[in-house]
Amino acid sequence: MVRVGIPRALLFYQYFPMWHAFFRALGAEVVTTPATTRATLAAGAARVVAETCLPVKIYCGHVLDLVGKADVVFVPSLRSLERDAHHCAKLLGLPDLVRAVVPEAPDVLDVDVDLEKGTLAFYRAIYAVGRRFTWNPLRVKRAAAIAWAAHLRYLDWLQRGAGEAEHDSETGWLNDWHRGLTNVAPLPITIAVVGHAYNLFDAYACHDVLRRLASLGVAVRTPTELPASATRAAIARLVGRAYWACEAELIGAAGCFLDDPAVDALVAVIAFGCAPDSVMMDVVQRYARATGKPVLMLPIDEHTGTAGVATRLEAFVDLLTRR
Amino acid sequence: MIITYPHAGDMHIALEVFFREMGVEAISPPPSTARTLALGARLAPEFICVPYKVLLGNLVEALELGADTVLTLGKPSGCRLGYYPRLQQAALRERGYAFRMYALPLMNGSAATAIWQVHRITGVPLRRILRGVALGLPVLRMLDELDRAAHYLRPRERTPGAASKIVRAAKARLREVCDAETLARIRRETFAALDAIPLDRTRAPLKIAILGEFYLVIDPFMSMDLEEELGRRGVEVERNIYLSQWLDFNMFLRALRVPETRTLERLAKPYLRRNISGDGLKSIGGTIRFAQAGYDGVLHLQSFTCAPELMASNIMPLVARDYAIPVLRLVFAEQSNRSGLLTRLEAFLDVLERRRNAQRNTPYATRTEL
């Protein structure tokens, strides 16, 4: 059985159940990596140019973790999911980056997802991945259908607040995250945390922002609970059209939360040097000024200290309590 | 209506001619200076790339001069450049400037769409716009020819600075061009003067290629006069982007489905299999092309946190190793200073010089590459 390695980093947090179901349906074994640690980051950071963003360094660390544990490593290149909205260069070039900086990595299994090129090109791309495991196009098609169903189930589960009842192997990793966060008891303050899923749900990368806030007696909300229709409407309100494929996680989510009277303030977790974040935060901060809600911007990189993050969060919550 | 546009190398000279011929009032922003950058940086998000800050500063300075209509580039995909207009508009509005901004979709359109847009914005008849193009485009071509000539002459001239002086004077005269005859005369006189510069033909200057992010390669302010500095130090430079080439591709060739980068894509394929937006693919492919053409070294220019160039930089060591060409990565941000740049350049030139001498004295078969 072919062992497909999927690094626990970047788009893992959005698509793992889908990828997992797809490769399982094709008869492969799926191997993933344990949560990020200091060692993962250090190993990854040693491979790339210093100013590369934290999530990409972490990604390289996870790929290194898969050496010897997987036969192929699945590294997709996501370009666009809708017309005119693209992912950042780092996600586009991820397979090439892995080949260049982690030469000892297992064979890289890449796929170009570019929905702008039309559905036919997309089906071809899926089939090209499936070819690795079977010659039978129908089997690939069936696996893709199973994967899509798994993805929809996962989105639905996220939006319902990621309850514990459905804890299973596919989604267990996120369940851990939401445990204790979804208590909607009437807490005095509600803070929405926005940012890319791979920043928010990687406890090591963001210094446990979500749980740290929860432990300060704050109700925490995250972009995962928002349906795509709501974030799309918020993007239309704030900037017209999405330019980045990840615009929903930052501008979309921030727009929803800033307009939601139940939310008192916003914390934005952004990676230092992240190109889309740097421009999207400008939009978010301008809109926050208009709505009068405070925003705490937390840039993270490998030099960010946990104590620094904790102090800033405490000060921010104190400030909100006094308001 | 008074039109303005941010700087991009010598583009403003051609644009002034273009708008004058069209009969539309236009002001170029004052030349970019430290003040421009400071003005832009004050209104810009902290971590954005440096071209954004300079361009925003250009617009502030042009609006201060009374411009009320801004033309800018719109919509390449995947790189922050396509996001510039949105942010610039919001930042300038917040500062209380009244203006209209139009983002021309030059990078995914054609001459026809661009000209039609200019027609819609200015209301000038198409015939007059075409007349403007017919005069502005040759001016732009001549500006690039001047740069190419200077690249060749600077390291070889006997009196340092002679070529730069003539080129500067010619550029100043080109701003005033108002008909084809004047242009022809300036061209004749300038090239005669350049031909008359006494050269030392025994010199064999180092050849260095400059590539990387578009604005840094074409704009001397952003690259801190890198080309002229290298020329002064006796280096022949070549760059992979010229404004007229870029414009030709975006206005004409794309419509004819001529791929901009087919050769570069083919060269880059073993290292980078897909276009990663921005100029990343061109930097990888370009390095290989220059290595094959026998250049001594490559300067890879990029702005701090530029994602496509950063990806290229991560892959670049493999290219440099396989093609045995030294590549120096030069990162620009608003904090960069000239002495830092010069120190790096000096060290790099020393390396190239020694490397060349070592190669000359070693039979080919036993050469050890750096």
CATH number, residue B88: 3.40.50
For position A161, what pLDDT does the model report?
66
Q: What is the torsion angle, in degrees rounded to the nearest 10, for the CA atoms of residue B340, residue B346, residue B347 and residue B351?
A: 150
Q: Angle at which helices A119-130 and A137-159 pack, to 10 degrees?
A: 110
CB contact under 8 A, B83 and A243: yes
Domain boundaries, chain A: 3-158, 180-322
**Residue B245 and residue B353 in one domain:** yes
d(C-alpha B173, C-alpha B324), whole Å? 43
Residue type (1 letter), B142? M
Number of inter-chain CB pairs under 8 A, A vs B: 115
Which token pair is B252? 């004409």
d(C-alpha A196, C-alpha A249), whole Å? 6
d(C-alpha B18, C-alpha B136), whole Å? 5
Beta bridge partners of B237: B208
A287 burial level (CB within 10 Å; 0-12, 13-18, 19+): buried
**Overall average pLDDT of the A226-236 stretch:** 93
On the question of pLDDT at A321 being above 50, the answer is yes
Query: Would you list which residues of chain B are within 8 Å, Cβ to Cβ, of chain A?
Result: 44-49, 75, 77-80, 82-83, 86-87, 90-91, 94, 271-278, 280, 304-308, 310-311, 313-315, 317-318, 329, 331
Res. A229 pLDDT band, cuts 50 70 90: very high
Residue identified by tokens 């904790």 is A310
**Residue B7 and residue B125 in one domain:** yes
Domain range for residue B277?
Answer: 205-370
Query: Would you list which residues of chain A are within 8 Å, Cβ to Cβ, of chain B?
Result: 48-49, 51-52, 77, 79-80, 84, 86-90, 92-93, 95-97, 100-101, 110, 112, 239-240, 243, 272-279, 281-283, 286, 299
Q: What is the pLDDT along chain B (370 residues), one digit of tens a residue?
A: 999 999 999 999 999 999 999 999 999 999 999 999 999 999 999 889 999 999 999 999 999 999 999 999 877 777 898 899 989 999 999 999 999 999 987 777 778 888 899 999 999 999 999 999 999 999 999 999 999 999 999 999 999 999 999 999 999 999 999 899 999 999 999 999 999 999 999 999 999 999 999 999 999 999 999 999 999 999 999 999 999 988 888 887 776 767 666 788 899 999 999 888 888 999 999 999 999 999 999 999 999 999 999 999 999 999 999 999 999 999 999 888 899 999 999 999 999 999 998 887 655 444 444 4
Give the closest-approach CA distance of B48 to chain A in angstroms. 6
H runs (alpha helix) in A136-264? 137-159, 172-178, 197-200, 209-215, 228-238, 247, 253-259
Give the closest-approach CA distance of B118 to chain A in angstroms. 23
CB contact under 8 A, A89 and B318: no
Sort residue B9 into left (φ over 0), alpha (ψ -120 to 50) or beta. left
Give the closest-approach CA distance of A182 to chain B in angstroms. 33
Tell me, which fold does domain A180-322 have in CATH? Rossmann fold (3.40.50)
Q: Find chain B residues with C-beta within 8 A of A87's C-beta.
A: 78
User: For the segment A190-211, what is each residue's pLDDT rounded down to a tens digit?
Assistant: 999 999 999 998 889 999 898 8
On the question of pLDDT at A3 being above 70, the answer is yes
User: For the segment A116-138, what is each residue's pLDDT rounded down to a tens digit?
Assistant: 888 899 999 999 999 989 999 99
Between β-strands B100-104 and B69-73, what pairing exists: parallel, antiparallel or unpaired? parallel
Q: What is the ipTM of this complex?
A: 0.90
Give the closest-approach CA distance of A244 to chain B in angstroms. 7
Of A97, A110, A277, the CB nearest to B311: A97
Which token pair is B1? 């209506």
Range name among A48-52, A169-173, B11-15, B31-35 with the lowest pLDDT average = A169-173
d(C-alpha A276, C-alpha A289), whole Å? 20
Residue of B60, B71, B176 whose CA lies nearest to B119: B71
Give the closest-approach CA distance of A240 to chain B in angstroms. 10
Res. A178 pLDDT band, cuts 50 70 90: low
Quote the number of domains for chain B: 2
For position A180, what pLDDT does the model report?
47
Give the closest-approach CA distance of B98 to chain A in angstroms. 18
Q: Find chain B residues with C-beta within 8 A of A276's C-beta.
A: 80
Q: Do domains A3-158 and A180-322 have the same CATH topology?
A: yes
**pLDDT > 90 in chain A, percent:** 67
Q: Find chain A residues with C-beta within 8 A of B82's C-beta.
A: 243
Residues in chain A: 323
Q: Find chain A residues with C-beta within 8 A of B307's C-beta.
A: 88-90, 275
Buried b (16+ CB within 10 A) or exposed e, A100-114: bbbeebbebbbbbbb
Tell me, which fold does domain A3-158 have in CATH? Rossmann fold (3.40.50)
Of B83, B94, B274, the CB nearest to A93: B274
Buried b (16+ CB within 10 A) or exposed e, B299-330: bbbbbbbbbbbbbbbbbbebbbeebebbbbbb
For position A165, what pLDDT does the model report?
43
Number of Cβ within 10 Å of residue B103's Cβ equals 18
On the question of pLDDT at A184 being above 60, the answer is no
Q: A92, A250, A272: which to substitute to probe chain B, counting the most B Cβ within 10 Å?
A: A92
Q: Find chain B residues with C-beta within 8 A of A96's C-beta.
A: 271-274, 276, 311, 315
**Assigned domain for B232 exists:** yes
For position B54, what pLDDT does the model report?
96
Of the three residues B106, B132, B158, the one that is the final residue of a domain is B132
Which CATH number is B301's domain given?
Answer: 3.40.50.11900
**Residue B335 and residue B252 in one domain:** yes
Give the closest-approach CA distance of A305 to chain B in angstroms. 20
d(C-alpha A277, C-alpha A281), whole Å? 6
Please state the three-class secondary structure of chain B as a single string.
CCEECCCCCCHHHHHHHHHHHHCCCECCCCCCCHHHHHHHHHHCCCCCCHHHHHHHHHHHHHHHCCCCEEEEECCCCCCHHHHHHHHHHHHHHHCCCCCEEEEECHHHCCHHHHHHHHHHHHCCCHHHHHHHHHHHHHHHHHHHHHHHHHHHHCCCECCCCHHHHHHHHHHHHHCCCCCHHHHHHHHHHHHHHHHCCCECCCCCCEEEEEEECHHHHHCCCCCCCHHHHHHHCCEEEEECCCHHHHHHHHHHHCCCCCCCCHHHHHHHCCCCCCCCCCCHHHHHHHHHHHHHCCCCEEEEEEECCCHHHHHHHHHHHHHHHHCCCCEEEEEECCCCCHHHHHHHHHHHHHHHHHHHHHHHCCCHHHCCCC
CB A33 within 8 A of CB A7: yes
CB contact under 8 A, A239 and B49: no
Which token pair is A166? 């459905």
Q: Find chain A residues with C-beta within 8 A of B315's C-beta.
A: 93, 96-97, 100-101
Q: Which residue of B has its CA nearest to A246?
A: B78
d(C-alpha B141, C-alpha B143), whole Å? 5
d(C-alpha B87, C-alpha B68), whole Å? 17
Rg (alpha carbons) of chain A, rounded to whole number = 20
**Residue B309 and residue B216 in one domain:** yes
d(C-alpha A47, C-alpha A102), whole Å? 7
Residue of A205, A193, A245, A207 whose CA lies nearest to A15: A245
The helix/strand/coil state of A307 is helix
**Residue B209 and residue B123 in one domain:** no
CB contact under 8 A, B273 and A97: no
Residue of A63, A59, A75 whose CA lies nearest to A112: A75
